[in-house]
Amino acid sequence: MTITDEVTVNGVDTATLFATLTAVKAAPEAAQFQFRASNEWISGTHNRSTIGGYFGVGEERAHERVFQFDADHPAVLVGQDNAPTPVEFVLHALAACLTAGIANIAAARGVRLTEVTSTVTGDIDLNGVLGLDPDVRKGYEKITVRFAIKGDAPAEKLRAIVERSRTMSAVYDVLTAGVPVAIEIDTP
């Protein structure tokens, strides 16, 4: 790994990045995070999540501001199209996680990126969620991410950065390997 002399590469403050790694190495419990979203049903398939607080580096924290995101279904799926579908937010999360990793890893390797774009597609047979065919799974059958990446390094080095980001991505990990999900229900 070649570490650049300059502190900020690709908008990544590499001095802070390496200082953070050193600090967590010395105190691994600082890396225990809990992220949260609270959601409120509005009407039909339309609902809204609020993302504000989280736990990390040993204490309760808050984002700089509170974020809210709606979700809905389009009219062809019996919604009002007020917002993207839940499954489209999964694609956003995947692209965003891989891209953030690419920027960090490139910075750590001293590679100056000029462009990173991607298109994520998710193929789904809705006979599953509609309950019309029990042999069809409910979720995506496959997801494909296509990256275009440019920077001051040979193609092989750029490819290796994307590949490293894949192996280090939290969202890629949960989507490909799965994660236990517990559901608790409070009723009146």
**Amino acid identity, residue 113?**
L
Q: Which is nearer to its own copies, 5 or 102 (CB)?
A: 102
What does DSSP assign to residue 30?
Answer: G
Structure tokens at 87: 């499954």
Q: Does 174 bind its own copies (CB under 8 A)?
A: yes
* 5 or 68: CB nearest its own copies: 68
- First-to-last C-alpha distance (Å) of the chain: 58
Instruction: State yes or no: residue 89 binds its own copies (CB under 8 A).
Output: yes
- Biggest CA–CA distance in the chain, Å, is 62
Name which position in 3, 6, 7, 36 contacts its own copies (CB under 8 A).
36
CA nearest to 87, candidates 72, 65, 104: 72
Q: Least separation, in Å, of the C-beta of 6 and its own copies?
A: 14
- Reading phi first (left if > 0) and then psi (alpha if -120 to 50, else beta), residue 131 is in left
What value does the CA radius of gyration of the chain take, rounded to a whole number of Å?
Answer: 20
Instruction: Rank residues 109 and 149 by Cβ distance to its own copies and give the closer one.
Output: 149
Minimum CB separation of residue 53 from its own copies in Å reads: 11
Q: What part of residues 50-79 is at the interface with its own copies (CB under 8 A)?
A: 51, 54, 56-57, 61, 63-64, 67, 69, 71-74, 76-79
**Of all helices (H) and strands (E), which one includes residue 53?**
strand 46-56
Note whether 162 binds its own copies by CB under 8 A. yes
Task: Dig out the tokens for 25 from the structure.
Answer: 């190495």
Using CB under 8 A, count the residues that bind its own copies. Answer: 132
Among 93, 111, 112, 135, binds its own copies (CB under 8 A): 93
Token pair, residue 43, equals 């009407």
Q: Does 87 bind its own copies (CB under 8 A)?
A: yes
Verify binding: residue 6, its own copies, rule CB under 8 A: no
In the complex, the smallest distance separating the C-beta of residue 74 from its own copies, rounded to whole angstroms, is: 6
Whose tokens are 């390094």? That residue is 153
Q: Contact between 112 and its own copies (CB under 8 A)?
A: no
**Residue 111 in the binding site for its own copies (CB under 8 A):** no
